[in-house]
Amino acid sequence: MSVAWGEPALPGCAGCGRAFAAGPAGWWRFAARCAACGVRQGPSPWWTVPVGALAAGAIAASLAGRGWVLAAGLLLSVAGVLLVAIDLAVQRLPDPIVWRLAVAVAVLLAVAAATGGGWPAYGRALAGGAALLGAFGLLALLTGGQIGLGDAKVAGVAGLLLGWLGWGAVLFGGLLALLLNGVVAVVLLALRRVTWRGSLPMGPALLGGVLLAVVAAGGLAQVS
Q: What is the DSSP string of 43-89?
A: --HHHHHHHHHHHHHHHHHHSTT-THHHHHHHHHHHHHHHHHHHHHH
Are residues 30 and 95 both part of a single domain? Answer: no
In the chain, what is the straight-line distance between the N-terminal and C-terminal CA atoms, in Å?
42
Are residues 24 and 88 both part of a single domain? Answer: no
pLDDT at residue 165, rounded to an integer: 96
Contacts of 185 (CB under 8 A, 6+ apart): 194, 200
Q: Show the domain range for 64.
A: 45-223
Report CA 178 to chain centroid distance, whole Å.
Answer: 14
Are residues 22 and 99 both part of a single domain? Answer: no
Are residues 38 and 147 both part of a single domain? Answer: no
Are residues 34 and 70 both part of a single domain? Answer: no
Measured from the Cβ of residue 191, the count of other Cβ atoms closer than 10 Å reads 8
Which of 157, 176, 188, 156 lies closest to 217 in space, CA to CA? 176
Report CA 147 to chain centroid distance, whole Å.
Answer: 14
Give me the number of domains the chain comprises: 2
Contacts of 41 (CB under 8 A, 6+ apart): 13, 14, 30, 31, 32, 33, 34
Which of 93, 80, 85 lies closest to 149 in space, CA to CA? 93
pLDDT beneath 70: ranges in the chain: 1, 26-31, 196, 198, 219-224
pLDDT at residue 27, rounded to an integer: 65
Counting every residue written for the chain, the total comes to: 224
What's the Cα-to-Cα distance from 81 to each of 45, 56, 130, 154, rounded to whole Å? 11, 10, 23, 12
Q: Looking at residue 116, what DSSP letter applies?
A: I
In this predicted model, what pLDDT tens digit does every residue of 45-74 receive, in sequence order?
889 999 999 999 999 999 999 999 999 999
pLDDT at residue 222, rounded to an integer: 59
Rounded Cα distance between 176 and 126, Å, is 20
Are residues 36 and 54 both part of a single domain? Answer: no
Are residues 31 and 131 both part of a single domain? Answer: no
Are residues 120 and 157 both part of a single domain? Answer: yes
Which of 201, 216, 203, 105 lies closest to 171 in space, CA to CA? 216
Are residues 37 and 122 both part of a single domain? Answer: no
Are residues 112 and 37 both part of a single domain? Answer: no
pLDDT at residue 31, rounded to an integer: 67
Are residues 99 and 23 both part of a single domain? Answer: no
Three-class SS of residue 23? coil
Are residues 38 and 58 both part of a single domain? Answer: no
pLDDT at residue 84, rounded to an integer: 95
Rounded Cα distance between 153 and 117, Å, is 25
Rounded Cα distance between 219 and 216, Å, is 5
